[in-house]
């Protein structure tokens, strides 16, 4: 599972990195991509004169802003899918997360933002079984921390790719295990 900050897409060697990911997938390594799009979302909202509002680092997603947030997040995910397709790797963009609304905290309504309740294992496993690379859409998740806490690293996972995601991800006390053995955060320093 790879978290990819939107800013790294501008880097000169990013295309080569995506080619390498496509080659790894062709060898049978299962890859899951989680693109983050905050800078692009902010730029799109600014372009349409919608001032982004944050409370403790969490964006307030109003009914007015959510179509633009969705558009910007999908654009970033689509850029990844386009590069993968150029290198003969099939990918699918989907929301593999069930979120629960944050609601009202400290008197502030967070409107359309949620926290991860569950990673949807069955559709994720179907995509992986078809040899495709799933690309998560996480635009309505309150924070990176929330998503990564739910999809955290667990070194007790078996290494065989023949194991189903349902044996690798256990629902229990709102915790899940991630499909792969490693979590890499790709970002600019």
pLDDT of residue 172 exceeding 80: no
Buried b (16+ CB within 10 A) or exposed e, 49-71: eeebeeeeebbbbeeebeebbbe
Q: What is the pTM of this model?
A: 0.73
Q: Reply yes or no on whether the pLDDT at 80 is more than 90.
A: yes
End-to-end CA distance of the chain: 20
Task: Determine the average pLDDT of the residues in 154-158.
Answer: 31
Average the pLDDT over 126-143 and give the result: 82
Distance, CA of 96 to CA of 134 (rounded, Å): 9
Please check the confidence at residue 68 and state whether its pLDDT lies above 50: yes
Rounded distance between C-alpha atoms, residue 16 and residue 1, angstroms = 18
Mean pLDDT of the chain: 75
Summarize the confidence of residues 102-130 as an average pLDDT: 85
- Rounded Cα–Cα distance for residues 38 and 20 (Å): 25
Q: What is the DSSP letter of 19?
A: H
pLDDT at residue 141, as a whole number: 60
Q: Where are the domains of the chain?
A: 2-186
pLDDT of residue 135: 94
Q: What percent of the chain has pLDDT over 90?
A: 33
Fold classification of 2-186 is Carbamate kinase (3.40.1160)
């Amino acid at each position: 599972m790879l978290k990819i900050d939107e800013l790294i897409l501008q880097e000169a060697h990013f295309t080569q990195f995506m080619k390498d990911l496509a080659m790894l997938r062709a060898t049978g390594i299962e890859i899951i991509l989680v693109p983050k799009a905050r800078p692009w979302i902010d730029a799109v909202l600014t372009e349409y004169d919608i001032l982004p509002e944050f409370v403790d680092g969490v964006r307030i997603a109003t009914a007015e802003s959510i179509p633009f947030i969705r558009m910007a997040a999908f654009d970033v995910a689509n850029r990844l899918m386009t590069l993968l397709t150029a290198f003969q790797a099939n990918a699918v963009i989907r929301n593999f997360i069930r979120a629960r609304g944050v609601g009202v905290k400290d008197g502030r309504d967070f409107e359309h933002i949620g926290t991860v309740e569950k990673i949807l294992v069955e559709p994720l496993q179907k995509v992986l079984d078809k040899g495709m690379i799933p690309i998560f859409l996480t635009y309505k998740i309150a924070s990176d921390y929330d998503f990564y806490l739910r999809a955290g690293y667990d070194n007790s996972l078996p290494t065989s790719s023949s194991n189903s995601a349902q044996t690798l991800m256990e629902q229990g006390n709102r915790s899940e295990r991630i499909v792969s053995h490693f979590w890499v955060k790709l970002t600019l320093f």
